[in-house]
């Protein structure tokens, strides 16, 4: 983004707005009535932390209107009330804030074309809850399968306390429910490419005309149609945020020992495990493993736990901003170590699951 706004707008009007989109030319700032195209003071964008963006969609900002053409200069970012982050997938692995000041994360999964692995839902749940934002699970494309294909998973999440909506942007199922749940909230839609995030937003708020594209016929994967994070006002009050489908949602700032408390079902049972601080992996007398064997916790849920836990054990996962640069393990070693970890994980799953089935892919 151009940051040459210095000195402009000495006699402009001071306003408050929310960043609705950031592109290479300007920040689009919504003041509640219209969109201003703003530059930012360079002191705001010269971040001392390499790779960190100083401004993100959802930020509330003070800005100065400059001239009559709906242009301005951002002067100040107001304190963030929340932020949804991931570890950047590129080599430096710093925090990437996807959006700020949201009150809801709508995790969009799809019944088919593409299938959504439960591990991905759990990663978004964890990142929302660790940011103290309420997650909601929206199972989309329900027109493509019978209810028994997706209800067991949906009802399991409901049973442990999450809000779940069965939806279809095509048949209209769940859209009214979604609209009601989002009224007055600032809700970000997140999930893999092609699951129907933009289609659902178009259905919730007709007239937005967000671009949607068919998934690849052969692979069933999405085409990464949405390329910007964009925030839009809802007619019934509140905001809705569309995001590009993310291929790999790596958790940021979490350690393996943090993970059990985000699995509510495991956490509740943890007090009955024989070992204090049981990790529910190798320990005997583990109440979680007994519950899985008794069919009270589904296998997919435990597999997701093992994968998510393993994914934050890797030395390439960043947990705070300053510490890791110096102590980082070279890329080659990290890859070798991840291969070993994956093999160990696969063995754990094979040992544990009755039918020996273990997905290979990352979630
Ligand atoms: N059958 C069916 N198709 C759907 C539904 N929702 C979306 N689609 C289709 O799925 C394809 C992908 O939808 P998008 O809305 O572009 O998906 P997206 O999640 O926004 O994808 P990205 O922008 O790439 O992240 C399009 O062809 C949509 O028409 C649904 O409920 N049922
Ligand atoms: Mg989209
Ligand atoms: Zn245990």
User: Mean pLDDT per segment of 10 residues, for the chain of length 363 residues?
Assistant: 43 88 91 92 63 81 89 93 84 79 97 84 93 96 94 95 97 98 97 96 96 86 91 95 87 86 90 92 94 95 93 61 39 56 56 40 39
How far is the centre of ligand 2, averaged over its atoms, from the C-alpha of 9 (Å)?
36
Residue 180 and residue 100 share a domain: yes
For residues 231 and 245, what is the distance between their CA atoms, to the nearest angstrom? 15
How far is the centre of ligand 1, averaged over its atoms, from the C-alpha of 113 (Å)?
9
Host domain of residue 18: 13-77
The CATH number assigned to the domain holding 160 equals 3.40.50.300
Residue 236 and residue 101 share a domain: yes
Residue 295 and residue 219 share a domain: no
Pair 108, 76: CB distance under 8 Å: no
Question: Cβ(140) to ligand 1 under 6 A?
Answer: yes
Task: State how many domains the chain has.
Answer: 3
Residue 191 and residue 148 share a domain: yes
Residue 209 and residue 261 share a domain: no
The CATH number assigned to the domain holding 65 equals 2.40.50.140
For residues 352 and 350, what is the distance between their CA atoms, to the nearest angstrom? 5
Q: Which residue in this structure is represented by tokens 């890329």? A: 331
pTM: predicted TM-score of the whole model, two decimal places: 0.84
For residues 309 and 256, what is the distance between their CA atoms, to the nearest angstrom? 5
| Number of neighbouring beta carbons within 10 Å of residue 179 | 16
Nearest in space to 137 (alpha carbons), one of 236, 56, 145, 129:
129
Residue 42 and residue 179 share a domain: no
Question: Cβ(116) to ligand 1 under 6 A?
Answer: no
Which uninterrupted H or E stretch holds 80?
none
Atom 11, ligand 1: which residue's CA is nearest? 214
Give the total residue count for the chain. 363
């Amino acid at each position: 983004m151009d940051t040459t706004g210095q000195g402009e707008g000495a006699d402009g009007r001071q306003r408050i707005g929310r960043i609705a989109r950031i592109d290479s030319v300007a920040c689009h700032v919504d003041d509640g009535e219209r969109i201003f195209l703003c530059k930012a003071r360079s002191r705001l964008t010269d971040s001392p932390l390499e790779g960190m963006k100083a401004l993100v969609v959802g930020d509330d900002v003070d800005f100065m209107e400059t001239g009559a053409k709906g242009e301005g200069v951002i002067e100040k970012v107001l304190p963030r009330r929340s932020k949804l982050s991931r570890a950047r997938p590129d080599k430096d692995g710093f925090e990437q804030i996807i959006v700020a000041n949201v009150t809801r994360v709508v995790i969009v999964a799809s019944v088919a074309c593409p299938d959504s692995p439960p591990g991905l839902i759990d990663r978004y749940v964890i990142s929302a809850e660790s940011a103290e934002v309420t997650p909601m699970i929206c199972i989309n494309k329900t027109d493509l399968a019978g209810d028994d294909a997706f209800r067991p998973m949906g009802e399991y999440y409901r049973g442990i306390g999450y809000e779940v909506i069965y939806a279809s942007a095509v048949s209209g199922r769940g859209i009214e429910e979604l609209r009601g749940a989002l009224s007055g909230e600032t809700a970000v839609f997140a999930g893999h490419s092609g699951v129907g995030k933009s289609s659902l937003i178009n259905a919730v708020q007709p007239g937005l005309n967000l671009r949607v594209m068919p998934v690849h016929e052969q692979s069933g994967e999405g085409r990464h149609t949405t390329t910007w994070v964009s925030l839009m006002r809802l007619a019934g009050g509140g905001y809705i945020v569309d995001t590009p489908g993310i291929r790999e949602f790596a958790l940021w700032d979490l350690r393996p020992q943090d993970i059990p408390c985000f699995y509510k079902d495991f956490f509740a049972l943890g007090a009955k495990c024989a070992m204090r601080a049981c990790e529910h992996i190798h320990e005997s007398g583990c109440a979680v493993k007994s519950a899985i064997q008794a069919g009270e916790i589904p296998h997919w849920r435990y597999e997701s736990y093992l994968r998510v836990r393993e994914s934050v054990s890797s030395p390439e996962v960043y947990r705070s901003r300053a510490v890791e640069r110096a102590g980082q393990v070279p890329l080659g070693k990290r890859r070798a170590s991840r291969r070993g970890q994956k093999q160990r994980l696969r063995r754990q799953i094979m040992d544990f699951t009755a039918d020996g089935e273990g997905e290979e892919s990352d979630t």
